[in-house]
Each structure stands twice: as structure tokens, then as C-alpha cells.
Structure 1
């Protein structure tokens, strides 16, 4: 089957870096006992904006721009830069430097599209990019993983299923008839769905798809797991003839909480995922399979990590005003 080989190869290093936002947390990540990842926070923000009637294309482009900027800046996003005293223009410039480092990984139309969205990511130092107070958005009470009091006014600005998906772990690698491969810590469904959504935005051009549609399909393709714990492919095989009905019923339940037009649009998109024929479905499936494989690759790299990689490849003791002293201490202690 023909696929855009060059575009996929060019995008892969960037997708790998963006995927690490599933594992980046900051001091204000208090939306669950373990702390929400940057990916989970972005997942909930996107659903909050969509539930308010936000245009999926605009939400998708902003989320894609924020993800590419975050690939190198991690938790240093627009509101953080403004909180640190930068003007809106200065903050947008910093975000732009990060995005520019990945220009070669992005399509000719996608790169300027993301660049144009950057000023909107740095407009207000006290609000997140969807108008929710920044301190409220990231500070649901500990022990409240479903976000009953999350956000301003005691109400979660995102649909309730968004918090449930962030609390629902992914199954990891499973195979019918075999024990599962357990890796710690597991990613959440919020992590995965966000990654698939933003990967889809970045791959949409290569597949001739509309970014907003791919983004929406990526965000919503596991709605049923807001209720159904993930037992992986092995569990799906055991559910057997019940699987299709269970997934359909639970998906309809979650769709019902969304505004009517959004329910209709997402419902029609979800129907396309059964095949890889429509451009939006092809971009979605490419993003989905890449995220699943990159997640496994991450655990493999982490398990094989050595001190030499940090010291030599990543220059852990990097040049600075006191690096000579640092090296003298390490040599004297025979620590390297």
C-alpha cells in the first residue's frame, strides 16, 4: 500500500520528541495524585475548547503548534514565559525558535500554519490558551482523578470523559493467549489520544487530510475507555462477539455529552476508522500506529540507558563558568 514515505521519515524524529511530553510534568501538574503530564493537560484543554464550541481546525492548529514548541521547551509554554516577565511578542519569539528547529520535519504548508498560531499561545500570562485561568486549570485537588472540582467555579471545563481517560491506564503490549508485557509507568489514554491527535495534525498535509478532522478523530478514538478498562488486544479477543456492541454503546454515551454539531462530526469521523481509505482515516491510522510503536521504543531506550550516554552523548557536565571545577571534583572522586 502506498504511503508518503519521505514525509513519514522526516516527521519521525519530531514525533518521538513530542511523545516525550507524555512524561514531562511540572510543579503545577496537580490534576491527579501522580501529577498530570503535559500531554494530559493539553488533552483536557483541547476538549474544553471543543466543548465550548471551538472550531476543530483552529483548536488542532494551536495544539499542534504548542506540541512542536514543547518538543524542546518541555513545560516552558506560553503562559509560563509570560509569568516569567516576557512580553507576548518575546514569548512568541521563544516559542518560534523551538518550532524553527523542526522546520525540516514539517510539511511546506504545515510549518507556516503552526508559526502563525504561536502569538495566540502567549497572549495572557494568567490564562491558558483557551481562556481558562492558568492556576485553576492545573490545580484540581489531589485524590480527585475524575476532576469533579477541576477548573474555575468548581466545574471541569472539559467533558468528564476527558478526566476519566487521563486516569485510565493503557494496557501496553498484549497478545491473545500470552501474558502481557508490563512496563512502568504506563501511559494514560489521555496521553495516547493527545499524541495521536497532534501527530495527525502534523501528518495531515502528507495524506491530503483536513487537520481538524484528523485531530478530532485522534482525540476521540478511545471514548469507550472512559468506562471500559483497557485489557489490550488480548482482552478484545476474549470479549469476542460482545466487543463491537460494548464499544458502540459506550462511545454513544460519551458522545452524548458533547454539543450536537460536535457529536455529529465526531460520530461520522469515528465511522471512517474501520478502514484506511479516506485521507483522514489514513492520517489517523498512521499517527496511531506510530505512537504505539514509539511508546514501546521509549521503554526499550529507557531500559538500555547508560551513564556514558548522559556524560558523553548528552554532555551532562556541559561547558560553563565552573565546568573546570566540576571535572576536577569528579576526577578526584573517581566518579566518572
Structure 2
């Protein structure tokens, strides 16, 4: 039996986004805040740099999209227990891949089955792609804080620590790949557009919506100049500049499947970034002790419980 007619977003019910992916996207968002000793920046910031090094090294955008997204999904639970660490600590390549797939499997049951299989396959042993030079805009975007919550005519709301533009671009890129099947969009195009959608902020400080409105007619020309500076860094990377410019053509609106996947990812990330601050502020000790088992099962749990009770903690 034929299903209902498809809407522009590729669904019969007219839904604008797939609610089944909500919990995954919420959890993925924390990669913008996870750090480890001996590694510079958050996981998201480092994956942003890795993605651009793969692109300048000649890897195809669709391959980079799958590799980076698979790595991000595995890291959602495993954080920096990645292939490099696991093999350095004595695991075989196959054993490390099994660990990564276990982490991946925990968070991806609701992904599109075909996309999930393609991503999971990226966590098997394979030769690493050639890495090219990391463009200067990568470090600049990592140094550039996002504006916080701004609204014309009102003082801004700053929530510390702020995310940076590299973290935001990476997360939108990964979200875009996860959302692409829902919109019937090409994940490589969405990924590349998202990785490049804040090129202007490599040089242009972020004053948010308020600053954009105050710039008025000057906004677009300034953004064009600043974007050109970043694009020029790709001139020696084969056809990459042309591919990036072609992908960025989806950014202005939601008239294409790729545009809808990108804008859904961008919107979700912007709001979840604020939601995590609110979630932390409303955290209760009941959640920490009872649901999350901060004092967890083990040979000394009974003693721990007595210590806390006698100390009247919490």
C-alpha cells in the first residue's frame, strides 16, 4: 500500500525533524566540553582540525564526513578512549575496533539503518588518509568565542565557558550527517557546508544578532571580505576551494534537502548549547546519587554510604 504523500522535508506526516534522534544529539553535544590531559582543546575542536587536515590532504568530503561522524559517535560514550590510545595501551587493532564499535552501538540504535551501517564500518581497521596542512582559519575559529545570547536592544547573556566557532561548526557538521537521511540530503555536502559556514568568524569577532543588526547594510560586504580571506587559504589544496564554495551555496535558505539538513543541525546545536547550561543549573543531588550512582556498587559501597550518612552529606 502506498504511503502518504511526501512533504518537502521527506516525511509523510509533515514533521520538520526526526524526534527519535533527540537524545543522541543532546549527548553528542557534550563533545564540545570534553577535554583530556595532553590533548589541546575539546574533542569537537580537535575533530574540526582533523577534518580539515583530511580535506586538505585530498580526502573526499563524503569520506571525511563518515570518518569524523563515526569517530564522534564512538567518542560520545568513550570520550578520548580512542583507537590511538587503546592500541598504545596494548590492545590489538581489532580489539580497539571492537571497543569503538561497542561505544558506537550504545548511542546509535535510532540512526537511519543504512547510514548507521556505513558509519559503523568506518570503525574497523583501515589505513589512515593522508593529512594535509591545517589551514590557519582552523586555529582562528577555535580562538573565536561565540557571542552568547544576544537580542537587539537588550544586553547580552553570557554563559561561561563559551563555546568556540570550531566546536560549533564541527557539531553542526556531525548533526547534519546524522540528520541527512531524514531530509534525503547528501551527507558530504551538508558536512562540508557546516564545516565552512562560519569562515567569516575566523577574522570577524562575533557580536551576535545584536551586532549584525547594528552593522546593517555593512554586514554582508564585511562577511564576504572575511569569508574570502578564509577561502584563499584553500587555493593550494587542489579543487577543495571550489568544492567548499559549491557546498556553501546551500547556506542561504532551506530550499534544498541539504539546506534543510544544515539549518536543522545549526538550529538544534545553538539551542542545545544553551540547554546544557540550564540542565547543569537544575541538577539535583537525587539525580547524581540515585539515578547516576555517583557512589556506585563495589566492595566498599556500604562503607561509603555509612560515611555520607554520618557526615550528613548531602
Q: TM-score, normalised by structure 1?
A: 0.86
* Cα distance, 1:203–1:212 mapped onto 2, change above 3 Å: same
1:78 alignment counterpart: 83
Is 1:173 aligned to residue 149 of structure 2? yes
1:225 alignment counterpart: 201
Is 1:106 aligned to residue 111 of structure 2? yes
* Cα distance, 1:180–1:102 mapped onto 2, change above 3 Å: same
1:299 positional shift: 0.9
Q: Secondary structure at the match of 1:319?
A: coil
Q: Is the 8 A contact 1:10 1:104 kept in 2?
A: no
Match of 2:224 among 241, 245, 248: 248
* Cα distance, 1:72–1:294 mapped onto 2, change above 3 Å: same
Match of 1:239 among 212, 215, 218: 215
1:6 positional shift: 8.7
1:187 positional shift: 0.2
Aligned length: 302
Is 1:51 aligned to residue 56 of structure 2? yes
1:78 positional shift: 1.3
Match of 1:298 among 251, 276, 281: 276
Q: For 1:129-150, what per-residue CA distance to the aligned partner results, in whole angstroms no more than 9, with x for missing partners?
A: 5566xxxxxxxxxxxxxxxxxx
Structure 2 CA distance, aligned partners of 1:77 and 1:13? 22
Structure 1 unaligned runs (5+)? 31-35, 124-128, 133-155
1:152 alignment counterpart: none
1:60 positional shift: 0.6
Structure 2 CA distance, aligned partners of 1:205 and 1:114? 13
RMSD over equivalenced CA pairs, Å: 1.7
2:289 alignment counterpart: 311
Match of 2:21 among 1, 6, 11: 11
Q: Secondary structure at the match of 1:225?
A: helix
Structure 2 CA distance, aligned partners of 1:319 and 1:335? 18
Structure 1 CA distance, aligned partners of 2:58 and 2:271? 33
2:99 alignment counterpart: 94
- Within 5 A, what are the aligned runs for 1:106-125? 106-120=111-125
Q: For 1:170-191, what per-residue CA distance to the aligned partner results, in whole angstroms no more than 9, with x for missing partners?
A: 0011101110011000000011
Structure 2 unaligned runs (5+)? 1-6
Structure 2 CA distance, aligned partners of 1:286 and 1:57? 19
Instruction: Decide which moves more: 4-13 or 158-167.
Output: 4-13
Structure 2 CA distance, aligned partners of 1:328 and 1:11? 41
1:157 positional shift: 3.2
- Within 5 A, what are the aligned runs for 1:198-277? 198-258=174-234, 259-277=237-255
1:20 alignment counterpart: 30
Structure 2 CA distance, aligned partners of 1:131 and 1:90? 24
- Within 5 A, what are the aligned runs for 1:21-40? 21-30=31-40, 36-40=41-45
Structure 1 CA distance, aligned partners of 2:155 and 2:111? 39
Q: Is the 8 A contact 2:94 2:125 kept in 1?
A: no
